[in-house]
Amino acid sequence: DQQVKQNSPSLSVQEGRISILNCDYTNSMFDYFLWYKKYPAEGPTFLISISSIKDKNEDGRFTVFLNKSAKHLSLHIVPSQPGDSAVYFCAASGGGATNKLIFGTGTLLAVQP
Amino acid sequence: ETGVTQSPTHLIKTRGQQVTLRCSSQSGHNTVSWYQQALGQGPQFIFQYYREEENGRGNFPPRFSGLQFPNYSSELNVNALELDDSALYLCASQDWYQETQYFGPGTRLLVL
């Protein structure tokens, strides 16, 4: 039972355009959501997060939107840069006694120069 | 400020052997979590340690065990290695009262 889903395995965008990465979840108890970026042979790097009491959080070129009724969140990257090319993981916490993270399967973003 | 470090970076073992992976948490963090990432998958939660006690465990068998030391560093031990244990093992640290976990570079384990 996959509680966090990233249905797009890959996404290709042109440099300077917007990248939109999507994530769906099933557990309504999740109260905190995070996005991580991962390059090959490195650990995940924290990008941005959002609490369930908010519907938007912005940090520079990165914005995360949360739609609780649809159990959906998205990461917008504007403008996209070639260095943004990586695998992006959506993660959620708050579904149990620990603050363990439940991850999606990731989306490979390729930003074309 | 020192980030999360892990050792070794790579490891090759044979089936049935035992392995110990190590993690040093980021300065100021008192909670360590371990994750297993198989190829093409997201990280899967193994267990978490807070104040040297296990605080939650994922769907992993007892041959996966861990320790946390007074300086908040941690070890992951896997006994009786199986071929399916081949994966990237990630350590993440956080302050107990904060939600965000920060990951180390991982240890790539190959079981032959």
Q: Does B104 touch chain A (CB under 8 A)?
A: yes
Residues of A in contact with B56 (CB under 8 A): 96-98, 100
Give the whole-number percent of chain B exceeding pLDDT 90. Answer: 89
Interface residues of chain A, partner chain B, Cβ below 8 Å: 4, 32, 34, 36, 41-46, 49, 51, 89, 91, 93, 96-106
Cβ contact B7:B20 at 8 Å: no
Split at pLDDT 50, 70, 90, the class of A95 is low
Q: Nearest Cα to A5, choosing from A111, A67, A90?
A: A90
Yes or no, beta carbons of A103 and B58 under 8 Å apart:
no
Q: What span, in angstroms and rounded, lies between the C-alpha atoms of A14 and A16? A: 6
Mutate to test the interface with B, among A45, A48, A59, A98 (most CBs of B within 10 A): A98
Split at pLDDT 50, 70, 90, the class of B1 is low
Q: What is the mean pLDDT of residues A15-35?
A: 96
Q: What are the pLDDT digits (tens) for B22-46?
A: 999 998 899 999 999 999 899 999 9
Give the sign of the dihedral formed by CA A37, CA B86, CA B23, CA B70: positive
Q: Cβ of A89: how many Cβ atoms within 10 Å?
A: 25
